[in-house]
Structure formats: C-alpha cells, structure tokens
Amino acid sequence: MQSRKIFCLVLVLCAFSEVRAASLKGDDCSNATTQAQIDACATQALKKADVQLNDSFNALLHKVSGAGRQKLQTAERSWIQYRDAQCAFNTMGSAGGSIHPASLAACEEGLTRMQTTVLNSQLHCQEGDASCGNQ
C-alpha cells in the first residue's frame, strides 16, 4: 500500500513538474507552445534540478566519514538507476510520441528534486543516526 502511495505521489509530481517546467523564466517557458519549446523547458528544469542534487550530494559527501562516502556513492549510483528505470516505466505510455522527451524529463526532475530533499535532510544528521532524516 505504501509503494502505491509513493507511486501516485511520483505521478502527481511529474504532472506538476511539467506545468512548472513550462513556467520557467529565462527562455520564457511560460509561452512555450511548440513541442520543441516544451522539450527545451523540461530539459532546462531537469538540468537545474540536477545541479541542485549535485550540490547537495557534494556537501554531504564532504561531511561524512570515509566509510560514509563509500556508502553514499553506492547509494547515489543505485538511486540514479532507480530514477531512470522508474521514469522509463512511468512514461512508457508516451514512448514513441512527441511528448515523450518532455514527460521523461519532467519525471526525472520530480524524482531528482525528491532525492535532493532526502540528501539535504541528511546534512543535518549525525552520521549513523537512524532516526534522523527519514522521510
């Protein structure tokens, strides 16, 4: 039941991410009307989320012990594989369609932002404190 709730949350976040990607400033995504513009805006939003994730990851990487660094790197590599597989599944209905790149980028952005929140919560924890940072 918990995994179904998480799946539903991810779908909602993906939908909101698509809307949010279209409202980004800079390349005037609020007026994106062509699929190419929508794709570019979704890609831009994903890149921004990825930069924030990498900043959080590097901050945490410098905070933890050597053993912690090893575990964090392993966890993050596994998380990237999970994100990519989950979004491939979530967006398989649009595969082959013109909206697929934007849908895939929006899904990846949503999961990336959630992972950034998880990493940021760990920045305020003592290493090994199982009660801290759990979402």
Alpha carbon distance, N-terminus to C-terminus of the chain: 16
Q: For position 22, what pLDDT does the model report?
A: 42
Question: Taking all residues of the chain, what is their mean pLDDT, rounded to a whole number?
Answer: 83
| More confident: 4 or 71 | 71
CA distance 8 to 115: 16
- Region label for 129, one of left (φ > 0), alpha (ψ between -120 and 50) or beta (otherwise): beta
Each residue of 20-59: pLDDT tens digit? 444 444 557 888 889 999 999 999 999 999 999 999 999 9
pLDDT above 60 (res 5): no
Taking residues 105-122, report their average pLDDT: 96
Confidence of residue 125 (pLDDT cuts 50, 70, 90): confident
Q: For the segment 70-113, what is each residue's pLDDT rounded down to a tens digit? A: 999 999 999 999 999 999 999 999 999 999 999 999 999 999 99
Architecture of domain 2-117: Up-down Bundle (1.20)
Domain layout of the chain by residue ranges: 2-117
User: Residue 134: pLDDT band by 50, 70, 90 thresholds?
Assistant: low
